[in-house]
Structure formats: structure tokens, C-alpha cells
Structure 1
């Protein structure tokens, strides 16, 4: 948008006066941030309204991305960039005596996600708007998000993260668009004279779903799409309602939209999670159908104007919910309703981990959602009836939705969608060949791959402005809108001046992060050391433990010989563990205990340090990623669906240390095997172990003296304060089979780390590797990914 510095300053001062009746000199940073946020939202409001009206007037087909998580990060700077007013606002504020970077820190970092799934959804909706695709997000407005992570004596403690405490300047509450969602009760069907079955609800509990809309601004264009997040509220009551029962019922209802991923180790926690999933699905689908009716089109043509995307299994109830509306409200017959539903729905699978492929007890889902369960039963019955005439009984039984006393949500999503995609070439191949092989036999044409992507705007242009500016100096700024143009950087791979400049930028970013670590954690780290980064959810398959075992090995080497030739190394971790995931929390405690041991041992002269940042999220990632030298992508091959931290880190010039898992395979194809460090088992070797059962972890413990010494530190008192955790982890590796082959890959991992130590000493060579990684990162832009979704799946 066109905005002069003078106009911005006048607008800003006026907004401060309108909101707080004060001028700049009287205002505090919180008021300045609120004024700026409201002003930016006003700048995009005309575009937002115009976009929505254009979609309606032209009867545009629109895609709706249903996701339990939207890990947005702070939006102020991103919105300024996308409106193309970042430099104008920054300079204007400076002339008013205000530092934009200070205002940025006032904005809360909404914890509406737990990792790659939520950040992918955020990148996607940003790219959808940037690519001028008619598409929106649909989720839950969690009051407290995931949780605020604190370390107390090295243990993870979960605290509420009240990110809405001071309001959210970006959202608009739309009470007039609220819908009602029903739970519990008894549902019985009455057959009319015309043959329709009419549902009758008795004693159901109703919840008011109120939408809060956030504008999603496209990069330097006229498109502003919508992220709609639903809040659970008490529906209007009649005057005879008892006060105390009203308060109790209100509290129960509001719990639905309070916390992301409630503790699922007990029945009540699982029930709340199922309630959350139906809540945002029902609210979203009702809202979409209501909007479609404004176009005065027959409901049988819904798939021509609406695409609904199921991001992981959490929104799988979209399938029976749309069926419910078509059958019960629109009086459509089953066959037509099912045809519409399948053509509307598409599903992305994000995992091969069985525990993440959700299933719910029949008793739970039939009690909470009686009408939905009736529809699921009928979907399942008709599926079995039809497929039994085409396929063997065993394959039909393995793929049905209701089996073993449970409703399988992935099966529901697959059967009810016209498209099923994986998120990396390897992941999709594993789905087709192994995890979902039965479904691939039945629905081969539905399966496709869409490798995940990231938005280079947040992860380079915003998170790493010095590097972004250097790239523009070298190749111009076309890459900002066409990320594959980053490949032009390869022309400078032998230009020593460019490589030294790249190294200097990295050094500045490392110094900046080191300063942050010292101020917030009191740990002094060396900016000239190798910054070795592993930032992702804490899960056993991601193998933070493998990283830790190598750190212990290095420490023992230094204890043996403090003068050993080890290039200084700072190991940086960022990770949250699910509250009920005891083993993951034990790993966190062990890492923190090892950190205490190493960081305070003067004998090793600070050659290795461990930094485990608290409450890892988007804003911390924006600090860490530009400073990273090494990107740890060391999950057991076949377990990581895609990974997106690998893409963010390579975009910022980190060299990837990886197994051939997820999108690491495609990264190697882009940068060449000489610019990525690969180690460990392959997917085929992992499955061979599964097939023949020949893996014996204890033999690695007994036959590798270095590994044995490292593992013994977990139980011999070397690591103080984590004795119980050390024994549990030791037993999991040596006694109970080492589920993720940590011991099998240890030696190969050590050799890969030694290679990094050697390569980093030649800075010209290292920076050349970094440059080639940056140049190869453009293809992993989420802009390209969403265009593939739009063209191949959504038809928008």
C-alpha cells in the first residue's frame, strides 16, 4: 500500500489520542503497541472487506483449512512487511522516539500449536493469501494455548500461558455469526410420509460457538483472507435459570476452548479433547454451509464452491458433520450427500506413528455425539457392504472405521475424502507401501504427495534481515516473490568476499543470541563456537537422546584430556514435552542435569556448553535459527513425516546433519550429498529389523566400550540430580529394546559429528556449504506447496 512517512506519523498520533487520550510523550510501550496494531488493522480493513465481497460476488470457490493448531507467532512485523510499509513505519516511529523492535516484544506469542503441524498451518494460510488463493483457516481460539514451559530444578513444569490477558489487537469478535453446537442427549429418528428421516434431539447440551476473525494479509497484494478461531461460550438462558447452576454450566462450557491438548492420560482429558475436535469442526462446517447459502446455489453443487481440508486426524469429524447437515437440514438422500461430502473433503496425513492416528472408544463418541455416531455407523456399514463385493474380507475388516470397540479417525478421513496426501516423498511412499497400504489398494487414485514448505518471509526476511539484505544485494529482490530465484546465489559459491560476508552475518547473529542467552539464562557462550541446534517437539523418535549421548562422549573426552583438540561447541535445545509423556519429560530432565554438570565444570574450559531454552516457540525460533551452524535432523529413518525446521535452518545457512528421513531426502537432492551430512539407518534397514526381529540393543552396549562408558554415566552417579531418570532411560535403551535404534546409530552419529568438527575449521568451505543450502531452500517455500494443493486437490 502507498503510505508516506508523514501520513503514518499523523495516523499513529491520532490513533493514540482516540484510544487513550494521550500523545506520544505520555504513552507507554503497551499503549504504543496497541495503537500501532489497531492502525495496521485499519490499513488492511478495506482490503479485507473487498476480498470477502469479491469472493461472494464472483461466487469464487473457497478452500477452508481445518487445523487444531495455528502456531502464528507475533504478527505485527509480518503484517507490516506484507502491507509493504515496514520500512516506512520503522523510520516514522524512530522519528517519534519509538523503537519498533521494542514494540514487537510487547506482542504475546500465541501458543496455539505445539510444533511443525501448527507452524505448517500458519505458513500455509500466509502463503494462500500471498498466492491470491481464496482460502481461510478454521480452528479454536484457545484461551491459554498449549502451556508455558518452565524448568524447575531441571524438570518441565507446565504453567498457563494467558496470551489473551491484554486482549488481541488483530482479532474481530463476530457474535452475529455465532452458531450452536450440540453434545450429549438422546437422538431418535422419525420417518416422514415423504420418506425422510427427521432427527429429534432430547436433553442435548448446547454450546455457543463465537467466531473471532483475524486478517491474513497477502504479501504486497490486495488479498486479505481470514483465520477464524472459535470460542466456546454459554448460550443465552431464559430468566428462570438458577444463578449457581448457570455459573457451573458456563465454566464447563468455557473449558472447551481453554487449553490446547488437555492431558489425555485420563478419561476426562480424552473426552475434553474429543469435545474440542467436534466443537470447532461443527462450528466451522455450519459457518461454511451458511455462507454457501448466500450464493443461492443448490446444495448438490457444494463441492463446486467449497473445499474443506482435514489437517491431520483432529478435524476428521468434518466428514460426518457435513453429512449431518446435508441429511438432516438439507433433506438430501444418502447417496447424493455422500457424493458431495467426499468431493468436498481432502485429508493430509502427518504421521506414521500409531499413537497419533487417533481412535475413540465407541462408548465415548456415541455418548458425547449420538447423531454423529449414528452417521459414522452408517458410513461404516455401507463401506463394508460395498467393499466386500470388491476386496477380500480381511482387507475390508482392516480398513473399516469401527473396529475393536473404537472409531478410527484416520480411516474416517480417508474413506470420506477424495484426496489423501503425505507431506514428503518418503513419507508418502511409506504410507502407500506400508502404513496405509490396504487403503492404497482400495483407493490408489486418491493418494498423492505434497512436500511441506515454509514461508521465507517470516523465516528469512523477518527473522534474519541482515542475510535477507545481503541476498538482495547479490541477486536482487525477485526471490521475495519467487523463492526459487535463490538458486542464483550459487553463482557466488566461489566468491570469497561473499562467503566471508555470509560468515560475518552468521557471527553477528550468534553474538546476538549469545547476548540473549546471557541476559535471560546467565549462561556465557562463545559466539565463535559451533552452534549445534536441535529445536522440535520432545519425542523419543526425534532422538534428542542420541544428541545427548554424543555430548556426554565429548565431555568424557575432555575430562580425560582438557587439552583435547575439540572445536568449541554450543548445543542448543528447544522442546516441549506433552504433559502426560513421562519418558519425554525424563529426557528433558536428563538434558538439563547434563547441562548443569558441563556448564559448571571449569576443567573443560568452556569448550562445550548446553543451552536448553524454556518455552520454545515461534519467537524463540526466530532468534535461534539465524544463529545456527548445524541443523540436527536425526529422527529414526521412516518416523518423521517431513520436518520443517530442516527447511528453516537450511534457509538461514545451517548445514544439515541428518538421517534419510522425511524431507531430508529431498534436501539432499537439492544441495548435493557433499553439502549435507548424512548418517544412520535407512528406512529399508529399519523395516528389515522390524521384519526379522534381529536388533539386539544390549549387544551394542556390551561390544562398544565408548558407548558403554557413556551409558554407564546415566546410572553411576556422574550426572547428579537425575538418578531415577538416568536409570529409566538406561533401561529403555539397554534392557527394553531401544525402540528407536539410538544405540545402533550412535557410532555413525559420532563419525558424522567428527566430520562437522573437521569441516567447520575450513571456514571458506563451510560457508560455501551454507551458501549452497540457502540457494537450494527456495523450492521448499510453502507458496509452491499451497499452489499444488490449490491446483491438484482443492481446485481453487
Structure 2
């Protein structure tokens, strides 16, 4: 083999002058602009391209090292990667942030203005996608040979706007001006088939083989983005797939004037990677979602197999060399797809293929709601993926036959553990499929892992008690503290050094400083600065004045009934009403800030958004209370907006119905940035309470066990309302039409549900929530006490780093060797 090492270009200089010259050259020779006429977007492109070169200088050696060492690789399959803006992240991890500031200043350009130009990559919706992004960062930081696989959505999740308070969805155009971070890989293109028919034959040895042919053939084209770890020591790859038609324009149809027909194949193919989470209320929408899931899992598995066979003689050792993590059930179709590839394409017998599959896959569950575990109609899979439905039947038959033979089985039908749910029609349970096809199944908090064993996977856990484990989620401190909150992170660095950036456990050294008045004053100044920044942003874009001296009370997350934004706004109505009546004397001035998107087909969530906006319109216009209570719903929540809101928050709302939030990661980000948490004992809130101390968090409401008991014996919301005059009054105000004079009955569906069913137990927890909010008022009225507790929250966040989470995955699930973990940050659920 020819040694080409000496032919590689020299690494790009990392000093100010080298970066300045590189930016100038990129502006002229790649962006094609003169310095005197360049726009902010031109400067962004030039800087991004210059930084990308420095990423590549680490990317190539990292890739070569992975191939040379031939160790185990980790592949993370996720329908979402909510990566946000990448330029600031790359500058931070490369240690070039101040260098870039100085280099641009010499060219007469302000770095902060340039950073704001980059659009957010619209590749995710919320915690699931942001977790995937944090995990990619940590895998690179820990120098794990990792690769992420997802979809390169042309528009991604919708852009949220409001029309008279109602959510409206508009296309997101994050790719309108190109993406300077990605590399198209025309050599990495794989065919993905839909529909068609099956043909059965015998091979020369007499073995029965299945041939899937006909139907629609789509091409998956790879786009690679380098993901750099802390200090640039290792760079991994995020590979996203774009769908293209295998057919060119139908020229005959085009020349006949049938222009739409001429491009029909292209439109159908490209629709697969056009939008994240298309509405699934129609059969066409369901089919498109299933197409998306199969499209990216098939392309990813074909790519993994090609890479493996490039260095190994067979696929027999795949479990020793490959670990694939399924992030939720979206990629669960990968289980029968790998079976198909092993059996139909590579000649393995059924049992050997199944052994390989169960040695390769692992599955992360993110929900305890049975209705949120994906199910697909059997007929839809039979139509779209006929070979896969056949394989699912075979997997189910082997699975049920094995369990029927066990002495602990007393159910001849095994209805609860079957892959096919036949209660109302016939559905494939994708959670069960992922469970059976995986070596390990993990929850994402200690509570969640335990509840999985007793709820959604209770019967499967009975038969496979070794499978379920729990690894509490984490977030990357580089993005969510160092980059998002330079005011606080610089204070921490001056106080305890910078080791916390890679070993978050070192934050515990801040605890003694909570008693230092000078440190508390500096901490308060950092928080005040962040609140002023947010207030200026809100004033510019929403035209609402925020008082930085008020308590910033924040709930930012996907709008869903179980997350209980409804509890928040009803308490705000009750508080406003008491203020108007001359009560609530101990309530401090407060800003109630909401942000988040509702799924386009989730009507009830959209109605809750409308309620919040209608209440805000009335409350903010009330001269009697406007200086004491402001309510605001920020539109189009995304990563960049979160990076402004989270550092400014005083109080973090984590108020989901106990037992329904798997973990949460927003709770960690807020506490890491010096906010106190008001929340239920749900998800990772339980572990956060233990980490920061129960006296430094506002916990209220029913426990997960009490919620389950309410569900079993029944709950009477009218009794809870009768016991709570404040709640009764708030509901009456909403029902009266005070907030919706144009349509007095607009919110009756919400209030009728609360009075009749209240599945998410809003009425049960209302009084406890009110009392917890008054405790928050009392503490905020004592600034020194509040700051002390906020500092102790930051100091307790060591266990909630994504580096710790990834170390645990590597050791317990992926079985990938790592250097010794820093003792201070070791934490396992």
C-alpha cells in the first residue's frame, strides 16, 4: 500500500492571523464577495467554511484511527437530531471562540452579529432530538468511534407563528441558503424499496429464498457533518439521508405538456425527506411516516454492512464489532430489515440471523404512555413492506412458541407479549418489536426504568427480566453552560477552574461558595445580565416589556397535556384573580414565560396554546396587575431561543403528571444555569432532588405510585374542585368567556374534560402547585437565600452530564472500552 500520509495538506493554523487570512480567502474565493460589500451572511459563510477546514483537520485522522484500530463502533439511529446552530458550538469545542472574535475584529466584523445569522437546523422537535445531539457531542468528547444516522429534512419541523393566538404552521427554510457544514457523498447512495411483490425460489442447495421486487425504488443519498468533541481531540460523523428518485424526468410526458406527471416520481421520492413528522391523521400521512422510518433505517443498515464487509470477511462477527442504538421506536423497523438483509442478501439461516440481530441492537424507550408507543396497521406494513411483515410474523411465531414452552406461562394466547395487537383491528407493536430484537432495553431515568418493568413492558419483563436497565439522561455542559451562558461559565472558571467542562462533577466545588456574599453578588450579576439580554430580545420581537427584577418563571417544552402547561396557566389565572381582589400580598412580581410547539394534528394542545395567549392578552392589559404579572408565549421555540431563555430563568417548570415524563433534559439545563426547579416527582426530577437536596427544590403533588392508584380506583375531579375555591374560581373565569369574549364557549372542551375525566390529574395537583408557587414567592423575596439555593443547584448538577450518560452506555450496553472515568462524575441510575 502506498504511504500517502506525506501527501496530506498541512493542518490549518489555529492562531488569530491564520484564521483571519483563511476567512478573508473564503469570502473572496468561495463566497465570491468583496470585503467592502460583504453582508453578515457572507461573513458567516466565510467563517463557517474556515472553521470547517479546521474540523476536517481533526476529522480525517480520527476516521483513519478508527479504521486502523478496528474496534467496536457505535451507531446511533434517531429520527431527530436537534443540533441547532453549529458555528458557535464548533468554535467552543475547538477553543477558537476568542480567536475568531479577534480575527473578525481585524476585518471590521463583529462575531456576535455573525453568529446570529446561522439558521437552526430544523431536524428535531424537542428532548428526543436534543438528547441525540448531546450524545453525539459526548461520544466525540470521549473519543468513542460513533456515528449518528438520521434524515436530512429539507424543511424539518414547521416554523411556528400565531394568528390571533392560534398556532399556525409554516415551512421551515433552514436550507434556503445552503449548509456550509455538510459534505454530500455521492459514493454513498443506497436503494430503498417500497411496495412491490414477493417471489419465492430455491437456491442450488435447496434452501428457500425470498425475492422482493417491483414497487417504488428510492435512492438514499448521504450528507456528512463532522461532530467535534471537546478541545478537538476527536471528530465523529453525523450522516443524514436525503431521498431522491431513481428515475430522471419523464421526458416524453414533459414534451407532451404533462409537466406534473413528468416529475411525479421525483416528488414522491423527495417527499420522504421533506418534512419532519408529517401529520398522520390520514392514511397518506401514516404511510409517509412509515416510509421515513424505513427509509433511513434501511439506508443506515446497508451502510453499516458495507463498511463492516470492507474490513471483515463475513457478518458473523457483527455483534463484536457493531452496537446499534435505537433512539425510541421510530427506527424499530430496523429489526426485520436487518433480518432481511442477513437472510435474503447475505445467505444467513433464520436462527443465525436472529442471533446476530439480538446481539447488535439496543433500544432506548422514551415513554410510559401506551398510546405513545408506535403501532402500525398490519395492512399498511403488508402493503408498503411485504417482506418485513412476513418476517415480523416469523419473529412473532418463534417468540410465542418459545414462551409457550416455559413453565411460568399460564396464557396460551400470550396476547400481552405478542407483536400483533388484535384488540381493535390488527396492529404491529413497534415497542415490542424493538424490545425483542434488542440485547438491552433502557429507560432514561431511574424512575422510568423501574416503571417500564411494571407498566408498558410488564409482561415482557416477566419473561426477559435481564433486559431492562436505566441510564439517566444528561446534557452537554459545553453547549448548555459554556456556550449558552458565558457570564456564568466564566464566573465558574474563575472560581474553580475549567476542569468542569469535561468533568461536570467538579461543579460540586461551588457549594462552599454559596455562603460567600461576594460570590453570590457575582452570581446575581451574571443572572441579571442574562435576564436583560432576554428582555431585550423579547422587546424586539414580541413587543412585550419584561422587568429583569421580576421572577422569570419559565416552562419551555413541547405542548402536550401530560406536561401540563394547563396547570401552569390555570394557576396564573388564579393568581391574577387574587391580585385583582387585593389578595396574594406575598406574591412577588413575576413573568410567566411559555414556549413550545404543538403537533400539527394535536387539536387539544393547540387549544391550550390559544388559552395561554388569550389569558396573556387580558392579564397584560390589566393596569391593576401589569407591574406584578406578565404572561408571554414566545413563538417558534428552537435551540437558539432556548440558549437565551434558559440562562435567564429563575424558576424552571417541570410539572408533568408523575410517572409520565420519562426523564426530561430541560430540567437539567435550567438547574445547571442557576434556576430553581418547581416540579413533581417525575422522571429525572427525582434524582435531581437527591443531588441538590430536597430543601433546594420545590417538589409538589402526587407521586407516580399515587397517580397509578388514582387510575386504578378512579378519580373524581369535581371533588378536588369543590375542595379548592381558587381552582373553582379559575375554571369559572375561563368558562365565563372573560378571556374569549368573541367565543365564550371556546375553552369548554378543556374545562369540561377537567370536570369530568381529568386524565392528567390537573385538579388533583392544583392546590399543591399553588402552595409550592407561594413558597417560591417567599424565597425570591429573600434574594440572598434564593441565590444561595440557586448556586447549590448548579453545584449539584455533576451527575447530569451527557458525558456520564455516554460512559454508562459504553460500559453497560455497548461494551466499548474507555479510559477510566473521572471519579467525581461517575453516576449511574
Query: Which category of TM-score, normalised to the shorter sequence, fits these structures?
Result: over 0.9
* SS at structure 1 position matched to 2:452: helix
Deviation at 1:747, TM superposition (A): 0.5
Report whether the alignment pairs 1:774 with 2:794: yes
| Mapped partners of 1:198, 1:707: distance in 2 | 65
Q: Which residue of 1 aligns with 2:354?
A: 338
| Mapped partners of 1:330, 1:242: distance in 2 | 39
> Taking structure 1 as reference, are residues 791 and 601 closer, same or farther at Cα in structure 2, changes over 3 Å only?
same
Deviation at 1:199, TM superposition (A): 2.3
Report whether the alignment pairs 1:489 with 2:500: no
Aligned with residue 321 of structure 1, among 290, 315, 337: 337
Deviation at 1:242, TM superposition (A): 4.2
Deviation at 1:690, TM superposition (A): 1.4
Q: Which residue of 2 aligns with 1:171?
A: 182
Q: Which residue of 2 aligns with 1:708?
A: 728
The one-character-per-residue Cα deviations of 1:526-582 (angstroms, maximum 9, x if unpaired) are 100000000111000101111111100111112112894421000010110001110
Q: Which residue of 2 aligns with 1:41?
A: 52
Q: Answer whether contact 2:587 2:774 (CA < 8 A) is retained.
A: no
Report whether the alignment pairs 1:150 with 2:150: no
| Mapped partners of 2:734, 2:649: distance in 1 | 28
| Mapped partners of 1:90, 1:356: distance in 2 | 46
Q: Which residue of 2 aligns with 1:759?
A: 779
> Taking structure 1 as reference, are residues 703 and 668 closer, same or farther at Cα in structure 2, changes over 3 Å only?
closer
Q: Which residue of 2 aligns with 1:210?
A: 221
> Taking structure 1 as reference, are residues 665 and 259 closer, same or farther at Cα in structure 2, changes over 3 Å only?
same
Aligned with residue 576 of structure 1, among 590, 597, 603: 597
| Mapped partners of 1:310, 1:638: distance in 2 | 22
| Mapped partners of 1:528, 1:369: distance in 2 | 58
Q: Answer whether contact 2:250 2:263 (CA < 8 A) is retained.
A: no
| Mapped partners of 2:591, 2:623: distance in 1 | 15
Q: Which residue of 2 aligns with 1:254?
A: 270
Q: How does 1:211-290 map to 2 (within 5 A)?
A: 211-237=222-248, 242-243=253-254, 244=259, 245-290=261-306
Deviation at 1:273, TM superposition (A): 0.3
* SS at structure 1 position matched to 2:326: strand
Q: How does 1:620-631 map to 2 (within 5 A)?
A: 620-631=641-652
| Mapped partners of 2:672, 2:151: distance in 1 | 31
| Mapped partners of 2:119, 2:126: distance in 1 | 17
The one-character-per-residue Cα deviations of 1:427-456 (angstroms, maximum 9, x if unpaired) are 001001222111111111111110000001
Deviation at 1:705, TM superposition (A): 1.9
> Taking structure 1 as reference, are residues 292 and 724 closer, same or farther at Cα in structure 2, changes over 3 Å only?
farther
| Mapped partners of 1:545, 1:403: distance in 2 | 33
Q: Answer whether contact 2:369 2:456 (CA < 8 A) is retained.
A: no
Q: Answer whether contact 1:140 1:229 (CA < 8 A) is retained.
A: yes
Q: How does 1:62-81 map to 2 (within 5 A)?
A: 62-81=73-92
| Mapped partners of 1:415, 1:20: distance in 2 | 51
| Mapped partners of 2:128, 2:252: distance in 1 | 42
Q: How does 1:62-461 map to 2 (within 5 A)?
A: 62-237=73-248, 242-243=253-254, 244=259, 245-390=261-406, 391-393=409-411, 396-404=414-422, 405-461=426-482
| Mapped partners of 2:138, 2:584: distance in 1 | 50
Q: Answer whether contact 1:562 1:603 (CA < 8 A) is retained.
A: no
* SS at structure 1 position matched to 2:415: helix
Deviation at 1:252, TM superposition (A): 0.9
| Mapped partners of 1:455, 1:654: distance in 2 | 17
Q: Which residue of 1 aligns with 2:608?
A: 587
Q: Which residue of 1 aligns with 2:22?
A: 11
| Mapped partners of 2:712, 2:765: distance in 1 | 18
The one-character-per-residue Cα deviations of 1:25-82 (angstroms, maximum 9, x if unpaired) are 2211111111111111111113212222221222121111000110001000100111
Q: TM-score, normalised by structure 1?
A: 0.98
* SS at structure 1 position matched to 2:263: helix
| Mapped partners of 1:310, 1:403: distance in 2 | 22
| Mapped partners of 2:69, 2:235: distance in 1 | 16
Deviation at 1:20, TM superposition (A): 3.5
> Taking structure 1 as reference, are residues 428 and 659 closer, same or farther at Cα in structure 2, changes over 3 Å only?
same
The one-character-per-residue Cα deviations of 1:647-700 (angstroms, maximum 9, x if unpaired) are 00000000000100000000000011110011000111111111212x100122
Q: Answer whether contact 2:247 2:266 (CA < 8 A) is retained.
A: no
Deviation at 1:501, TM superposition (A): 1.2
> Taking structure 1 as reference, are residues 326 and 563 closer, same or farther at Cα in structure 2, changes over 3 Å only?
closer
* SS at structure 2 position matched to 1:52: helix
> Taking structure 1 as reference, are residues 722 and 621 closer, same or farther at Cα in structure 2, changes over 3 Å only?
farther
Q: Answer whether contact 1:587 1:725 (CA < 8 A) is retained.
A: no
* SS at structure 1 position matched to 2:156: coil
| Mapped partners of 1:6, 1:139: distance in 2 | 37
Q: Answer whether contact 2:696 2:793 (CA < 8 A) is retained.
A: yes
| Mapped partners of 2:128, 2:250: distance in 1 | 44
The one-character-per-residue Cα deviations of 1:700-735 (angstroms, maximum 9, x if unpaired) are 223322211110011112213563432111111013
Q: Which residue of 2 aligns with 1:637?
A: 658
* SS at structure 2 position matched to 1:398: coil
Q: Which residue of 2 aligns with 1:653?
A: 674
> Taking structure 1 as reference, are residues 238 and 156 closer, same or farther at Cα in structure 2, changes over 3 Å only?
closer
> Taking structure 1 as reference, are residues 14 and 601 closer, same or farther at Cα in structure 2, changes over 3 Å only?
same
| Mapped partners of 1:394, 1:436: distance in 2 | 19
RMSD over equivalenced CA pairs, Å: 1.4
Q: Answer whether contact 2:511 2:792 (CA < 8 A) is retained.
A: yes
| Mapped partners of 2:280, 2:717: distance in 1 | 31
Deviation at 1:106, TM superposition (A): 1.0
| Mapped partners of 1:93, 1:395: distance in 2 | 69
| Mapped partners of 1:213, 1:150: distance in 2 | 31
> Taking structure 1 as reference, are residues 131 and 727 closer, same or farther at Cα in structure 2, changes over 3 Å only?
same
Q: Answer whether contact 2:75 2:325 (CA < 8 A) is retained.
A: yes
* SS at structure 2 position matched to 1:133: coil
The one-character-per-residue Cα deviations of 1:402-450 (angstroms, maximum 9, x if unpaired) are 2311111000000000000000000001001222111111111111110
| Mapped partners of 2:746, 2:285: distance in 1 | 26
Q: Answer whether contact 1:362 1:406 (CA < 8 A) is retained.
A: yes
Deviation at 1:396, TM superposition (A): 2.9
* SS at structure 1 position matched to 2:223: strand
> Taking structure 1 as reference, are residues 114 and 394 closer, same or farther at Cα in structure 2, changes over 3 Å only?
farther
Deviation at 1:479, TM superposition (A): 0.7
* SS at structure 2 position matched to 1:174: strand
Deviation at 1:4, TM superposition (A): 1.4
Structure 1 unaligned blocks of 5 or more: none
Q: Answer whether contact 1:599 1:609 (CA < 8 A) is retained.
A: yes
| Mapped partners of 1:418, 1:463: distance in 2 | 37
Q: Which residue of 1 aligns with 2:488?
A: 467
Report whether the alignment pairs 1:688 with 2:709: yes
The one-character-per-residue Cα deviations of 1:630-658 (angstroms, maximum 9, x if unpaired) are 00000010000000000000000000001
Q: Answer whether contact 2:31 2:45 (CA < 8 A) is retained.
A: no
| Mapped partners of 1:612, 1:642: distance in 2 | 24
| Mapped partners of 1:657, 1:604: distance in 2 | 23
Moved more, 48-57 or 363-372: 48-57
Deviation at 1:395, TM superposition (A): 7.6
Deviation at 1:237, TM superposition (A): 4.6
| Mapped partners of 2:611, 2:75: distance in 1 | 42
Aligned with residue 520 of structure 2, among 499, 510, 518: 499
